[in-house]
Amino acid sequence: MRLSRCLCCSIVLLMGLSGCTTTRMSNTTRTGLEQMLISNAVDQAISGTQFTSVYDKNVFVQEKYLDCTDKLYILGTIRHRVLGRRRAVG
């Protein structure tokens, strides 16, 4: 009886110490630090651009000539800046 209790306690202890862990890997083209640096650079470049010539006008952003890993972020930032002024005016 004592041996089975000791064995049972050992098994429970080993199960508790082993834990349930999961290893998760993401295969992105850039590391988190690179993504932060690139997004900061894009934000600074776009914030320094004047869009006053397109205020209150219909604007079409042609994306076929933009080919890079961060294409969607760049387009989103440009659209946000152009639409941001339009919402404030209208």
Q: What is the pTM of this model?
A: 0.57
Return d(Cα 73, Cα 71) in angstroms, integer: 6
What are the sequence ranges of the domains in the chain?
2-89
Predicted confidence (pLDDT) per residue in 33-72, tens digit: 888 999 999 999 988 888 878 877 887 878 888 888 888 9
User: What is the reported pLDDT for 90?
Assistant: 36
Please say if the pLDDT value at position 3 is more than 80: no
* pLDDT for the residue 89: 41
- Helix or strand run (H / E) with residue 57: none
Collapsed DSSP state (helix, strand, coil) of residue 88: helix
User: What percentage of the chain has pLDDT greater than the value 90?
Assistant: 11
- In the chain, the percentage of residues whose pLDDT exceeds 70 is 82
